[in-house]
Structures are given as structure tokens and as C-alpha cells.
Amino acid sequence: MIQSGVAGLVAGGAYAMLAVVVVLMFRMVRVLNFSLAAIGAFGTFTMSAVYAHDQSYLVATLAGVGAAAGVAALLGAVMALWFADARIETRSTVAIAMLIGLLMIGYRVFGDQPRNVPSLFGSHGIKISGVVVTHDAIAIVVATILVAVGLSVFLGRTRVGLRLRALSERPQTAELLGVPARWLAIAVWAAAGAITALGTQMVAPTRANAFADLSLLIIPAFAAAAIGLFRSFYLALAGGIGIGILEGIATNYSSIAPYQSVVPLVVVVLMLMWSQRQEVWDVAR
Amino acid sequence: MSRASVLRSPREALLGLGPVVAVGLPLVLAGTLLSPYGKFLGTTALVLAIVGLSLGVVTGRTGMISLCQMGFAGLGAWVMLWFATHASGAPFLLAVLVSGLAMLPVSLLVSLPALRLRGVNLAVITLAFALTVQIVLSVNDFPGNSDGVTVTRPSWLETDGSFLWACAGIFVVIAVGLAVLDRTRLGASWRAVRHSERAAAALGRSVARVKLSSFALSAFIAGIAGALLAAQLGSVEIETFVPLTSLTAFAIAIMVAAQYPEGALLAGALGVFLPELFQSWNIPQDYTNLLFAVGAIVGLKGGLGGAEAIRDGLRRLIGANERPLLLDAPDGGAIAPAAAVAADRHDDPRGPAPAKDGTAALEIRGLSVTYGSVKALDDVSLRVEPGTVTALIGPNGAGKSTLVDTVTGFIRGYSGEILVDGHAIDGLLAHQRVRAGVRRSFQQDRTIPDLTVEQYLRLALGSHRGSARMSAAELQELLDFFDCPPQHRRLSGVDVASRRLVEAAAAVAARPSVVLLDEPAAGLPAAESERLAASIAQIPARFGPAVLLIEHDMELVVAAATQAVVLDFGKVIASGSPATVLSDSVVVSAYLGDEVSV
Amino acid sequence: MSGLRLTALCVPRVGFTIVREVDLHAPAGEVTVLLGPNGAGKTTLLEAVSGLIPSNGGKIELDGVDITRASRVRRARAGLAHVEQGRTVFAELTTQENLRVAAIDDDAERAALAHFPELEQRLHVAAGLLSGGEQQMLVIARALASRPSMLLVDEASSGLAPVIVRRLMPVFRQLADDGIGVLLVEQFAALALGIGDQGHVLNRGQIRLSGPCEELAAEPARLREAYLGAGQALADLPSAT
């Protein structure tokens, strides 16, 4: 039981990392980015391809992260140039179209077969009172926590972070004060792509990792982000890890095991409905 | 300026039919003349077109992002296969119909959350539902799949050709059904909700009911599409109904504007024939998806989907869209100066008798609204007597709009009492207050661009107080009275100033007890606002409702109102006749600042 | 050619021309007051100047440089600062953070604060929790922190008690005396005219009345006509046909 919960940690860590980025983009660049995991998959497959050419893990990772950041920056530029003042619904719909385009390109470039994505630590792990925790699980959870803390500090303490927060609250007013909205938005997209590539790369060795499979990681990531009400990094983090553990535990019960991925979705619906319980109208006035 | 335009309505009708024929005919011809494979593809295209119609309801018309339509189709196919396995004797068309009907309760799983969630949150829910369907269907598999049971079509539908025609027939029935619905208040309500939920509620429609019906109908249509697909293929696989196909269907629907039948047909044709075409050119089929992605983004950028853009172009071509209405202004003479009309009205023998029992049309008692620590309204009491126009004036931020929002039910949690014709309406929701006899217009333009002037007015009429019926002559009289654009013109092709007139006409149309007009003259040029003043002054005599006029334009107030109430910092600081109130030093200082001694 | 100069500026809004061929000069070192009733087009005019909405005719020059087609950010960097209507603080940011979004350096932040010592004690409070008057001071200080050469202020007095408005107005005078150009859009005529140099009344998209502020203030009847538009003003307005 505990072991199966722990087995869900790697997946949970990846959900959490993606969820944190979903929250970042929702807050800072006003988009629910459906294409996020596909961007990550792009990076992961680049990494795998570079690794296959006898490059070191580090070089391959840098290549993957760079590729993802590049793709994301490109998409971010489309968004910043064409949909700068558009509503979040429109921007998110654009992201859906981007997902479909990326899936096609990913399929063309990388094929539809799962890839051999190298794992950093293999199957090694440490044993804590009878329960095995893999190094991979520890690595991804730690990395996710670092990302969440790092983003909080960055937004809270730096001048660029401050300007981003201003931009997220009143984009037009921030622009009137000379904040370069477009460039900052593109930078956020690039950073989001890079972090996501790290997350998908770390989870890819442990599960079905065809391009489309990795792209659909966005659904549990949305679920986790919804637990943070698309606002809180730390709740999204906890939500992602919680969903991973829940999925792991669900494998223990034969009656619900097949539906393990549905469990978090029910949680999401309830969370969203609770969070929106007071909103009555579509616009304030 | 309005008569000639009536003749234009057949043109509009032609406009609707033309593209359907243009897209549909080649499709059917292809299916009839071509090889069996061609017919097979044509059938698939029609089924996808039906999915397109379903998205046209929920997304195209109602404006809700639905990413689970193929999920509904998958469940429809499941029901169809259940019939094949467990009740193979059931009539074919009945089984198809039941497959669609079975989706009505299922749609509640998505539409009930939709009552609270909108926009991107709703998108997440629908995507989650699509994934749930995938998981449930992969665990349980389709009935009969393991035993090799397939859907057998009845003898009259056995050939590819006959089944193609049957699908075409079903497509036409649904498309025509939707076209008929579009002319009803329900159809108009969907488009109202798409544009603005507040506007829909202010027109007396329950936003909840509108959303539920939209999801239910779209799930029904998608379920039928799934059943047809099962019937075409004999058996289906889960891969057809995964979230990804729902997402792609959504993107295509956005690209082609699937709320139009030709858009839906185009969606089906693109989804089936384009990959074939690519293959024949030795281009990998999946490049079509890139095309759909780019197409959707371009469509979103332009704000128009394919079919919409085509219609817009055609309209321009045949001149059903000419815009500047307002500026070909009257050549004097015909319309009396506002002040003169306003003065005349006091002698108008048709004026309503003063209320016998002293009941106000609208009475507000001790109304207070607090936002955080700010008192937006502070113990406001006022009466609007039947048969009068009362102006509510005051500087920016005085609380005028808050008062309108509170009276009409858009702000909950106030203290005080609001009575209409002596009946308290405090417990009622916004759309219920409309039915109780309070109407409003909005400061910003909230007319529904997808509707014609007539459709908008009929939507506003609603079904309460037996006013649902309004003869064409009465409608025309109302439109003429407010100088509205011709009734068959779509509001999207009408300038903003004229839309304000239409909105005012709609508020009056149902003859409520009281109409709250929120800055109706904002943005109107001088001559127009003078004419509007004259019209407003006559509303009580001509149509019955008392008027509470919120306005900044003092000329308009003087010309239209017999009473004025001045609000400043959420409190009533003066009331009386407009002339008295405007010369009151307190009022002048509220407007010009403290230190002007006028 | 210092200051802001508008030549035959036309601005549309939702398909309707709201501002028509307005010529206006707001020189550096002066407070230019733009009065007019609601819906006259004052806010639309300012938004076109700062680039929030596009203009469709005419020219906008700042210190002799044509900025008619420049982006919002470039206009801001050229020295334009626009204090929008409705106290647009970043509510979730503290007072100090609000200033820092715009401040080009610490000196600019300090200089901006010097005009509003009241804000000193509120530096670490979320701007959303400030009173209306404090919020208005903050948005003005924030605009100043970018060291503008031209300050556009849209209805600083809206929804504020007269005592606060009396506190704010002298600041604009001081800024002009320091060499900044100020274009003050107001609904409250008296206080603005009291500190302004040139005054203009905008009504229905066009300038109806111009003159030195002293003269305008001395002729309240004319002002009221152009402003409230009631009574005699009806006859003065050119016919729209």
C-alpha cells in the first residue's frame, strides 16, 4: 500500500512540475496552455535523440531544454504579437490549436513510437523502513520543489518578477509604465518550455512515452493546477504529488485500478466548483 | 429608410441556402457518382459534419468551449452497439435516436458544472470528461467487440449509396431543425449567452437553462453521429473517441465556424477528403492537422471562422450589409425638435391616468450596498411614479450604475427593499425580476450581434404577461418610434449608436412596469440624442412603462424627464423637477466642484 | 516644440468617431486643463495619446517627435506617463512595489514619494488596501517615478472627497513649475481651473471653448453652458445635420 503510493511519486513529481508551470503561465501570461506538455515532449525527444548520438546526459539535457525553450518562445511570440489583448478563452483556444500542430510536427520529426529516454539514476533507490524510494523519484520531487520555491522567490524578490506580477494584474497599465510586455511574455513562455522539458524528461523513462502520451500529461497537470485554483504554486505542487500518490494507491484495488486516472479528475471537478461557488456573472459589470 | 430593406430578407435567405448547396452538392455528387470507397468517405464526412453541427450548438452558438464532443459520440456508438448485441431486433432509426437521447442525462455531467464554471475552467472539465470517457470505454470495451458482433444495417440501408443518402438526410433534418430553433427564443438565447450572460439575463432568460439546453442538444447530436459511425463501420475502436480527436474536432469547428451548416459540412469534408487528397499527392496525411491548427489560429486572429468569413463576404457582395445608417440623418422637417415634443407631451390626451392607489411603478426603500469598506449606496430611497420619466443623475462614481445593477438583480447582498408595482422583488434572480416587470439597458453596448433586429426584439419580448405575441405591424411601429434600423438587419452590421436605440426599443417592447435606461445617449451624436430624448419622453404614454433614466447629458435629461433625483457619494442629495434640481447649488457643486459660485 | 501637440486628432471607438479633429497643445512647464461632461471624449482622447487605443487621423507629437504610430511602451519611454481613470493600482502589490514597477532608479522613487509624504507610512501595505485618496496619490507617484516629461491625468478627482481633491491639485501646479507638462482631464471644473494655465472644454468630441484658466473661472455662466449644455447652450451648438 505505502509502496504503491510511493511508486506514484515519479509521476506525481512530473504532474506537479507541469502544474506549477501551468499556474505560472495562467497567472503571468494569461493562458491555459494546452500545448505545454507537448512542448515538453519536444524537448524530451530532442534529448533522447542527442543522447543516442553518444552525447553525455548533461549535453543531451541541455539540448532538450534548449529545444523546448525555443519552440515555446516561438509560440509565445505568436501569442504576444497576434493575441496580446485577446481574452484568456481565445488565447487558450489558440493553445489548443498549437497542441494539435505540435502533435503533428512531433509525430513527423520523432515518429509515434516510444523512445528510449535515459534515466538519471536507473532503478537504484534507497530503502526507508521497508519501502523503496528510487533516486529518480527523489530527484524529481526535489527538482519540483526547487522550481516552485525558485519561481516564488523570483516573482517576489526580483525586479523582473515584480514587473511580471504587475503585468499579470493590469497588462495595459504596466505597458503604460514602460514595462515591455511582449518581450517579458515571450521570456515566460521560453522559461515555461524549459522547465516543462525537464519535468517530462524525468518522468519519460518510467511510463509510456510516445509523443502523444507525453503531450497528454497536460490533463493531470491541469488537475493539479486546479487544486491550486490556478493561483498557488505550492498547492499545485502538493496537488500534483497527491494525484500521483492517489493513482499509485488506486492500483492496489482491483475494482478501481483500471480507473486510476479518473480519480483525480473527480477531485478537480469538485475543486473547481467549490472555488467558483460565488461567481455569478461572466463579467464584473 | 426602413421599408426598402424588408425586400432584402429573401436575399438573406438566399444567402443562407447558397453556401449549403455549394458545399453539400459536390459532397453528395461525389458520393453518388464515385466508387464505393468514395461513397464510404462521403458517409464519414457527413458523420463528421454532424459532429460539427453539435459543436456548432455548444461552441459556435452558445460560446462554451467543449473538448469532449467525440466522447459523446463514443458513448452514442456504445449504445448503438448495445442495441446490436442485446436488442438486435430494434428498428434501426429508433436505435439511432435512442443513442442520441441517452446522451441527454450524460450531458448533465458536463453541463451541471458549466452552470458555475465558464471559459477555461469549463474547458478543463470537458477535457477531463473526454479522458474519463476514454478510460471507461477502454476498460469496458464496446459491447460485442469481443464476440465479433457488429451493427447490421436494415436491408434498405445495406448499400454504401443508400446509407450515404440516409446520413445526408439525417444531416439535413438536424441542420433544418437547428435553423428552425435559431428562429425561436431558445436559439436566440444561446447566442445571447455567447455574447453576454448579463445581457441574456436582462432579456429575461435563465442563463442556467440556456446552458443546460445547449449542452444537452449538442450531446444528443454528437450521440447520433457516434451511432451512425458505428452503423457505418459495423464496429468501432476507442482510438476514434480519445480526447485528441475531440480537440481536433474543436479546432476544425473553430476554423470553419460550424454553427453554419455549410461550415459543418466543410468540417466533415476537410476532415475526410483533405487527408485523401494529401495522400494522392504523396504528402503524409497527418499534415492536415498542421493545416487545421494554423487554420484555427488564423480564424481566431481574424475573429471569423471560414463559413462566417464567406458569408460576410457574400453579404458585402450583395449589399445586405451596408453599414452607415445613422449618418444619413433626417432632413429636418419630419422630426420635431426634442424640446418641443417634450413640452407637447404634457398636453397629450393619450397620456396615462395617474396611478389611482398611489402605488409606485418602482419604489426603493433604504437601499444600501457596500463593497468592502466603501458604501456605494447609502440608504437610498426613491420612487418612480407610473407614467413618468424620472432622471437619475450625479457625477462619476456616485453610485448610479450600482443602483441599476442592484434593482435589476445583478448585485446580491444589499440591504433595503425594492418594490415593483407594490410587490417586493428582493428574493428574485435577475431574469425573474425581468418577468416581474423591471427591464434595463446597459451602459456598454450589450445587444447580440448575431441576431437580427427583429430576432433581438422577439427575444426581449419573452413569454410573460401574455406579451409573447406582437404583430408585425406593432413591431414595425415600435421600431419606427425609436428610429431603429430595418428589422431584418443583423445587429453586427448596425452602427453602435443605432444599437443603443434597438436596445431601448427592446427594453420597452414587453411593456414592463418600469424601464431603467443606463446612459442611453452615450456615444450618440447631438441630433440623435435629441431625437432619443423625445422618444424617451413619450415612452410612458405610448407604451406604458415608467422610466428611470440614468444620464449625464443634461440636455437629454431636461428634454425627457419630468422628475430628477441626484445621487452623490451614494446618497440622494436632491430631487424635484429637472430645472429646479439643475439650478440647486448643491447639485452644481457636485458637478463642478465646491468652489464655483454660479 | 516642447510638450504635447495634437493636430487634427480623430479617434474612433467601437466603430464610432468619438474625438473629431482636435487640435491641442499642452506645453512643458504648464498645467493644461481639459474639461467636459461625461461622454465628451476626454478619456478616449487621452487613451489615444498614450496608445491604449489607436487613432485614425491626425498627428501626436511629444517634444517635437511624432509618436502617432509608436507602441505604448515606446511612448512611455519617450516621456509620456498616463494616469488612468479609476485608480489603477496593482492591488496585490505593496505601495513600494507599485512604485518600483515604474521607477527607473531609487532616486526617481524617492523624488516621486516626496510629493506625497502620506504614502511613506504605507509603503509595505498592499495597494488594494489603501484608501481611495491614497490610491490616487499612489498612481500619480507611480507615474512620476518613470520621470516623465509629460503627465496625462484622467479624472484624478473622480469619486474622491473634495478635501482630497484640494490636496492633490497643488501637486500638479508644483510639477509644472518644476518643468513637467501636465494635461489634466477633469469633470470638476473649479479646482482644476484654480491651478491651471490654459483651459479647454471638450464636448461631443470637439473643443468648444478655450482660454486662460483665470478667464474661464471668471465666467462661470459661459463655462456652465459649454459644460452642462442645458438651456442657452442648445442654441450655440452647431446643428449636426
- Residue ranges of B 510-539 with Cβ closer than 8 A to chain C: 519, 521-523, 525-528
Residues of A whose CB is below 8 A from B120: 32, 88-89, 92
Work out the angle at residue B489's Cα, subtended by the Cα atoms of residues B487 and B494, and round it to the nearest 5 degrees.
115
- A88 and B127 in contact by Cβ < 8 A? no
Q: Which pairing describes strands B514-518 and B546-550: parallel, antiparallel, or unpaired?
A: parallel
Between CA B384 and CA B391 the distance in angstroms is 9
Q: Find the helix or strand (DSSP H, E) in which C82 lies.
A: strand C80-83
Q: Which of B198, B445, B196, B553 is nearest to C14 (CA)?
A: B445
> All 3 cell numbers of residue B129?
470528461
B151-207 pLDDT per residue, tens = 888 888 888 888 988 999 999 999 999 999 988 889 999 999 988 889 999 998 889
Would you write out chain B's pLDDT as a tens digit for each of its 598 residues? Answer: 333 333 344 555 556 666 667 667 776 676 666 778 888 888 999 999 999 999 999 998 998 999 999 999 999 999 999 999 988 888 999 999 999 999 999 999 888 888 888 788 888 889 989 999 999 998 888 888 888 888 888 888 888 888 988 999 999 999 999 999 988 889 999 999 988 889 999 998 889 899 999 999 999 999 999 999 999 998 898 989 999 899 999 988 888 888 888 889 888 988 888 888 888 888 887 888 888 899 889 888 876 666 677 777 666 666 544 433 333 223 322 233 333 333 343 333 333 444 456 788 999 999 999 877 678 899 999 999 999 999 998 877 788 888 999 999 988 888 999 999 989 999 898 899 998 899 999 888 888 888 889 889 888 887 554 445 677 888 888 888 888 888 888 888 787 778 888 999 999 988 899 999 988 887 676 677 788 888 899 999 988 899 999 987 777 888 889 999 988 888 888 888 888 887 777 776 666 554 433 3
Which residue from C84, C100, C146 is facing A162, i.e. has the nearest CB?
Answer: C100
pLDDT tens across C57-66, in order? 899 999 989 9
Among residues B244, B267, B133, B285, the alpha carbon closest in space to that of A103 is found at B244
**Whole-prediction pTM value?**
0.83
The owner of cell 459543418 is B264
What's the rounded Cα separation, in Å, for the pair B195 and B227? 32
Of all residues in chain B, the one with the smallest CA distance to C238 is B526
- Grid cell, residue B558, equals 431636461
Which residues between 162 and 181 in chain A have a beta carbon less than 8 angstroms from any beta carbon of chain C?
162-163, 165-166, 169-170, 172-181
- Of B117, B119, B289, Cβ closest to residue A100: B289
Tell me the three cell numbers of residue C63. 517634444
Enumerate the residues of chain C whose CB falls inside 8 A of the CB of residue B374. Answer: 132
Say whether A166 and C82 touch across the interface (CB within 8 A): no
How far apart CA B546 and CA B508 sit, in angstroms, is 10
Q: What angle do CA B461, B464, B465 make, to 5 degrees?
A: 105
Residue A106: phi and psi, rounded to 5, are -60, -40
Cβ-proximal residues to B46 (8 Å cutoff; 6+ apart), any chain: B27, B164, B167, B168, B170, B171, B268
CA distance A84 to A87: 9
CB A114 within 8 A of CB A205: no
Instruction: Catalogue the E-assigned strands of A85-139.
Output: 125-128, 131-134
Element (DSSP H or E) covering residue B404:
helix B400-407
- Return the ∠ at Cα B364 (arms to B362 and B366), rounded to 5°: 175
Contact A162 C88 (CB under 8 A): no
> Cβ(C180)–Cβ(C33) under 8 Å?
no
Classified as helix, coil or strand, B432 is helix
Neighbours of A174 (CB within 10 A): 26
Q: Strands C198-203 and C206-212: what pairing?
A: antiparallel
Contact state of A94 with B297 under an 8 Å Cβ cutoff: yes
C-alpha closest to that of C229 among B74, B526, B434: B526
What is the distance between the alpha carbons of residues C50 and C81, in angstroms, rounded to a whole number? Answer: 8
The set of residues, in sequence order, having a beta carbon less than 8 Å from that of A197 and lying 6+ positions away, is: A39, A40, A42, A43, A44, A47, A64, A65, A67, A68, A69
Is the pLDDT score of C157 beyond 90? no
Tally of residues, chain A: 285
Q: Do B582 and C230 touch (CB under 8 A)?
A: yes
Number of neighbours of residue C214 by Cβ within 10 angstroms: 13
Q: How many angstroms separate the Cα of A153 from the Cα of each of A150, A160, B10, C160?
A: 5, 11, 64, 37
Torsion, Cα B215 B217 B222 B223, to 10 degrees, reads: 110
List of residues 6+ apart from B560 with CB closer than 8 A: B338, B342, B389, B391, B533, B534, B536, B537, B547, B549, B551
Distance (Å) from the alpha carbon of A244 to chain C's nearest alpha carbon: 32
| Distance to chain B for C40, nearest Cα, Å | 8
CA distance B318 to B309: 14
With beta carbons less than 8 A apart as the criterion, state whether A95 and B251 touch. Answer: no
Tell whether ipTM is more than 0.85: yes
End-to-end CA distance of chain C: 37
Reduced to 3 states, what is the DSSP secondary structure of residue C83? strand
Chains touching B by CB (3 or more pairs below 8 Å): A, C
Residue C229 Cα, gap to closest chain B Cα (Å): 6
* Nearest CB neighbour to B332, from listed C157, C229, C241: C241
Q: Which residues contact B227 (CB under 8 A, 6 or more apart)?
A: B76, B77, B79, B80, B95, B96, B99, B100
Q: Tell me how far apart the alpha carbons of residues B460 and B484 are, in angstroms, rounded to a whole number.
A: 15
